[in-house]
């Protein structure tokens, strides 16, 4: 199923209805707002490709910004990405890869990236995990640990200048329960722009993306709730009993654009302190 359509803050109920029940392409030209891309039909590649086009070309890799256009992607698959991944691994100005995304969570911003030879699709947390998870880009996946919730903040790539983006998308693995996995977007004033429930696809992949027009980059922070259970608990995925483990594969977002509003910067600094982001040196 491919679903993409215009939306607005007020149209969430309609969006859910259209995306889940109808499964058709809906275009509401009369409603201003972003375009939502949602796919969980067993082959998400068509919708991921459409979303890449909405964000814009080219994929700027690790190039230092700023650029007025283009997009960034993270697939976690390069050998350099450590199992115990520092929260700023994808924008430490001193070391590539520099892609302008910094992660944080309430558990001292602890994250893991599955690494062949050390960990196969998070089997070090529970041996059943590889039976549940699959990849869009092989072989690696991403997860917070100690919590199932994390934030993404944006920067000018290879710089410490806070930034915002015109679109954000993520691939989720093994969303069993509709409602367990949520993507929330916040603007520079920490106001909720949009809250979205990711479609379920047990033992498969789900894609959610949202793109604003080329001249608006309102997304300053993304909060992701991946399933309803911390993978670090060691519990097995068990949706029958309400336990839904969900992990993340590729992230895609628009080229980060600088945000200079002073109030926003102060707010951002406090948020990072609260979330416990600490720079870590690579070993
Ligand atoms: Ca599809
Ligand atoms: Ca499952
Ligand atoms: Ca991957
Ligand atoms: Ca699950």
- Would you state the pLDDT for residue 261? 59
**Percentage of residues of the chain with pLDDT beyond 90:** 77
For residue 267, the model assigns a pLDDT of 56
Ligand nearest to the CA of 114: 3
pLDDT band for position 268 (50/70/90)?
low
> What single string gives the DSSP state of each residue in 222-253?
EEEE-BSS-GGG-PPPBGGGTB-B-EEEEEEE
Residue 260: the pLDDT is 67
Please tell me the total count of domains within the chain. 1
Average pLDDT over all residues of the chain: 87
Contact 57, 68 (CB under 8 A): no
Ligand 1 centroid vs 218 CA: distance in angstroms? 27
Look at residue 214 and tell me whether its pLDDT is greater than 80: no
Q: Tell me if 256 is assigned to some domain.
A: yes
Q: What is the mean pLDDT of residues 177-197?
A: 98
Is residue 1 in some structural domain? no
Q: Does residue 220 fall inside a structural domain?
A: yes
226 confidence band (pLDDT: 50, 70, 90): very high
Give SS3 for 21.
helix
Domain that holds residue 251: 12-274
Ligand 2 centre distance from Cα of residue 241 (Å) = 11
- Write out pLDDT tens, residues 28-78: 343 458 999 999 999 999 999 999 999 999 999 999 999 999 999 999 999
The ligand whose atoms approach the alpha carbon of 46 most closely is: 1
Compute the C-alpha angle 89/95/98, nearest 5°.
60
Average pLDDT for 175-188: 98
pLDDT value, residue 24: 35
Using the mean position of ligand 1's atoms as its centre, give its distance from the Cα of residue 52 in Å. Answer: 14
| Percent of all residues in the chain with a pLDDT value above 70, rounded to a whole number | 80
pLDDT at 198: 98
Instruction: Encode pLDDT of 6-31 as tens digits.
Output: 554 434 333 433 343 333 334 434 34
What is the rounded average pLDDT of the residues 206-232?
95
What spacing in Å lies between the alpha carbon of 193 and ligand 3's midpoint?
28
Confidence grade of residue 216 (pLDDT, cut at 50, 70, 90): confident
Query: Does residue 4 form part of some domain?
Result: no
Q: Compute the average pLDDT of residues 249-265.
A: 83
Cα-to-centroid distance, 128 and ligand 2 (Å): 10
Q: What is the C-alpha separation between 225 and 177, in angstroms, rounded?
A: 13
- Asked if the structure places residue 108 within a domain, the reply is yes
Which tokens belong to 171? 């691939």
Which range is least confidently modeled, 109-113, 139-143, 241-245, 257-261?
257-261
Does the pLDDT of residue 191 top 80, yes or no? Answer: yes
Give the Å distance between the CA of 235 and the centre of ligand 3. Answer: 23
CB 44 within 8 A of CB 136: yes
pLDDT tops 70 at residue 109:
yes
**CA 229 – ligand 2 centroid, Å:** 12
Give CA–CA dist 257/55, Å, rounded: 13
Structure tokens at 78: 């390069």
| Contact between residue 156 and residue 254 where contact means Cβ atoms under 8 Å apart | no
Question: In this structure, is residue 116 part of a structural domain?
Answer: yes
CA of 238 to the centre of ligand 4 (A): 7
Structure tokens given for 146: 């100690």
Q: Is residue 123 assigned to a domain?
A: yes
Q: What is the arithmetic mean of pLDDT over 186-201?
A: 97
Is residue 143 a part of any domain in this protein?
A: yes
Rg (the chain; Cα; Å): 18
Of 124, 133, 128, 242, nearest to 177 by C-alpha is 242
Res 163 pLDDT > 90: yes
């Amino acid at each position: 199923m491919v679903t993409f359509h215009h939306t607005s803050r007020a149209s969430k109920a309609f969006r859910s209805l259209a995306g889940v029940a109808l499964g058709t392409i809906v275009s509401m030209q009369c409603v201003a707002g972003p375009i939502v891309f949602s796919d969980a039909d067993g082959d998400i590649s068509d919708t991921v490709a459409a979303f890449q086009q909405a964000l814009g070309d080219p994929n700027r890799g690790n190039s230092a910004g700023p650029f007025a256009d283009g997009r960034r992607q993270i697939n976690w698959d390069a050998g350099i990405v450590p199992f115990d991944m520092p929260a700023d691994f994808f924008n430490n100005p001193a070391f590539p890869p520099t892609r302008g995304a910094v992660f944080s969570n309430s558990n001292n911003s602890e994250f893991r990236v599955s690494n062949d030879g050390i960990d196969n699709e998070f089997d070090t947390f529970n041996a059943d995990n590889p039976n549940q998870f699959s990849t869009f880009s092989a072989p690696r996946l991403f997860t917070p640990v100690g919590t199932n919730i994390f934030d993404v903040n944006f920067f000018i790539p290879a710089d410490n200048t806070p930034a915002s983006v015109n679109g954000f998308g993520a691939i989720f693995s093994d969303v069993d329960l509709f409602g367990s996995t949520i993507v929330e977007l916040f603007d520079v004033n920490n106001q909720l722009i949009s809250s979205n429930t990711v479609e379920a696809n047990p033992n498969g992949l789900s894609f959610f993306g949202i793109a604003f027009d080329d001249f608006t980059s309102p997304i300053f922070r993304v909060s992701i709730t991946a399933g309803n259970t911390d993978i670090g608990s060691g519990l097995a995925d068990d949706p029958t009993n309400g336990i839904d483990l969900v992990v993340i594969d590729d992230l895609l977002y628009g080229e980060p654009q600088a945000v200079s509003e002073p109030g926003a910067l102060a707010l951002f600094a406090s948020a990072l302190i609260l979330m416990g982001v600490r720079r870590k040196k690579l070993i």
